[in-house]
């Protein structure tokens, strides 16, 4: 179909780079997740939660901390944690506050210990080594800049997000 | 907790860049999707399907084509298309084959026409302009290289993915 509108569009080069970026992210994510599922029976979401918990000070976090770290919506997080609890990867533990802590179990810790090196090897092969050190360093800088820019924007101009 | 294992790990600089990249992607995606939801009542998934359909030759695609374009699993795609159909954004139309075609409706087309320029403006502000033309061009090149590398790998070493 014809382009849907003339507006504040990206020019051809910008559009091409943006689409290449999106396709890279999608392709890489799907590739990492297929290996994770096939070799370790974990989904990308399982892995993300387990990485966050296993790297936390005490192997335990509150749901709002996990929600902030993953940027998942509350309902997605809560459904996913329920599924992980049934599979014995995490458990919920009452603590001082009204809200329980999410704790990684021995089984969850074993799953991340086993799968993380294989994921790291794939990240090296298909991301780090293709970028190479110089281009990777530039990417890291720009990425930090973008996160900072969105953060500043949200603090000042975006009350919707500042509240979340 | 202590690092979970010594293995084929990324070094500190590589790890930092990889994490910055992931955080950038997550932050940018969440930012774009919040605006989309707030200003146009669309989810990121709605938008992705509508972009694909509206840019196709005839505004219609088969489910397997959408699945390939989005890299979503069949069940996610089928559930999401059902929800979009209920909201009148797409419809399914019988065609020659056993499988119906997914067609963007007038309402779906109006939704993408309205929201796409606003999304493009955010992509410009928070991605394209922060990269700047030179760094953006480099990113586009590396991204294409990564997609190519994974594709080659899957053709030869990864029968699981070659089948999907």
- Distance, CA of B164 to CA of B54 (rounded, Å): 25
Q: Read off the pLDDT of residues A51-107 as tens digits, 9 standing for 90 and up.
A: 999 999 888 999 999 998 888 888 889 999 999 999 999 999 987 767 789 999 999
**9-68 in B: which are within 8 Å (CB) of A?**
9-10, 13-14, 16-18, 20-21, 23-31, 34, 38, 54-59
- Distance, CA of B90 to CA of B48 (rounded, Å): 13
Q: Does a structural domain hold residue A127?
A: yes
Instruction: Please give the residue range of the domain that contains residue A65.
Output: 38-162
Q: Does a structural domain hold residue B28?
A: no
- Distance, CA of A70 to CA of A146 (rounded, Å): 17
Q: Does a structural domain hold residue A29?
A: no
Q: Does a structural domain hold residue A131?
A: yes
Q: What is the pTM of this model?
A: 0.86
Mutation to test the B interface, candidates A2, A3, A4, A48, most B Cβ within 10 Å: A4
Complex prediction ipTM:
0.86
Q: Does B163 touch chain A (CB under 8 A)?
A: no
Q: Does a structural domain hold residue A10?
A: no
Domain count of the fold of chain A: 1
- Calculate the alpha carbon distances from A94 to A51, A136, B46, B72, B152 in Å: 22, 43, 38, 37, 49
Q: Return per-residue pLDDT of chain B as tens, 164 residues.
A: 544 444 568 999 999 999 999 999 999 999 999 999 999 999 999 999 999 999 998 889 999 999 988 888 888 899 999 999 999 999 999 877 677 899 999 999 999 999 999 999 999 999 999 999 999 999 999 999 999 999 998 887 665 544 44
A80: domain CATH number is 1.10.10.10
Q: Does a structural domain hold residue B119?
A: yes
Q: Does a structural domain hold residue A69?
A: yes
Tokens of B33: 């999707």
Q: Does a structural domain hold residue B152?
A: yes
Q: Is the pLDDT of residue A31 over 50?
A: yes
């Amino acid at each position: 179909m014809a382009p849907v509108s003339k507006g504040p569009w990206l020019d051809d080069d910008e559009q091409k780079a943006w689409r290449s970026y999106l396709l890279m992210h999608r392709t890489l994510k799907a590739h990492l997740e297929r290996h994770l599922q096939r070799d370790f029976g974990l989904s990308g979401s399982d892995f993300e939660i387990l990485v966050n918990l296993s790297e936390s000070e005490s192997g335990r976090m509150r749901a709002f901390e996990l929600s902030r770290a993953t940027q998942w919506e509350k309902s997605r997080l809560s459904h996913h944690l329920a599924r992980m609890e049934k599979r014995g990867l995490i458990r919920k533990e009452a603590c001082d506050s009204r809200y329980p802590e999410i704790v990684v179990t021995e089984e969850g810790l074993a799953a991340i210990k086993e799968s993380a090196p294989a994921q790291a090897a794939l990240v090296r092969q298909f991301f780090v080594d293709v970028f190479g050190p110089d281009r990777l360093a530039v990417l890291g800088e720009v990425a930090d800049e973008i996160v900072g820019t969105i953060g500043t924007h949200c603090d000042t101009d975006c009350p919707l997000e500042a509240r979340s």
